[in-house]
Amino acid sequence: MTRFGLGCAQLGNLYSAISDETAFATVEAAWGAGVRFFDTAPHYGLGLSERRLGAALRGRPRDSYTISTKVGRLLVPSPDTAGEQDSAGFVVPATHRREWDFSRDGVLRSLADSLDRLGLDRIDLLLIHDPEDHAPAALDEAYPALHALRAEGVVRAIGVGSTQAAVLDRFVSDTDIDAVLVAGRYTLLEQPALDSLLPACLRRGVSVLNGGVFNSGLLAVDQPHAGLPYEYGDAPDAIVTRARAIATVCARHGVSLPRAALAFAGAHPAVASVVIGAQNPDQAKRNFELAADPPPPAGLWADLIESGLLRPDAPLPEPAGAS
């Protein structure tokens, strides 16, 4: 698990279409930056992300990288909607429909389909995807299936991914998972995962993959503005105002908002990897270069805390040169 990973939703044409060539070049740019962890899911572009990621990594030694994918949504052929566009935010034809399925058979079928799309013989980390509205089935059916797959050596590690910290907290407390992928709930903009989830992960030795650290794109620019996405929709005015206030403090210290967001996202000791998406190779190169920059000055965090824009109990990046 590298300190930073590539989130591959954009390889599935999230928000806008990209070509196969752009998708492959994005993976190559991440690889060139030292990234060896890649996160995908059947949900992303109705399997397009998995197909593109598998093709982009083909020919590289299998032990040289780590892949996570997810279960919970089965892709079922839907010829009646094949001429329409997918309605879940991905610019792809609606050739399939997503069916929630957290049963043992659903998990096994989802895994087999993902292996086929990726062109691989194993998955390193298998995650239960977005179980918040299906918690009983995810806990009583999907989790035991994943536990058995890990015991049999079919997958190396298991976990859960969600945008809801409380759901992840329940799995950390009640199961024997290896990792959680928390999306958008521990960022420079908001830190609800700090209340219970991250301390619980530290206590139980569960690795945290911190995704959505730009809050769907709002923190990915120096000057946040209306019309940028947040939670897969347009950002509310109050959220834009808060992001602008954070950006203003960053600018006073000569630090870009994306750089500060990436530095903060990886500072908590429970975070094993920060998962960063990219729409094209230039974005990937920029993001991973920013992630490799020295941490911003300590005064930035102090000003954010004093302004009420950052929780005072949040672990902060160590200044450059600190031991």
Quote the CA–CA distance of 24 and 22 in Å, as a whole number.
5
Active site residue 186: no
Q: What is the dihedral of CA 115, 4, 34, 295, to 10 degrees?
A: 180
Burial code (b: 16+ CB inside 10 Å, e: under 16) for 23-45 equals: bbbbbebbbebebbbbbbbbbbb
Of 44, 143, 186, 230, catalytic: 44
Sequence-distant (6+) residues with CB within 8 A of 287 are: 258, 262, 276, 278
Tokens of 221: 């620019």
| Structural element, H or E, at residue 157 | strand 155-162
Q: Which amino acid is at 121?
A: D
Interatomic CA distance for residues 137 and 48, integer angstroms? 27
Cα separations in angstroms, 67 against 1, 50, 207, 318: 9, 10, 15, 29
Distance of alpha carbon 18 from alpha carbon 283, whole angstroms: 13
SS3 196: coil
CB within 8 Å of 8: residues ≥ 6 apart = 38, 39, 40, 44, 49, 52, 53, 277
Q: What is the set of active-site residues?
A: 44
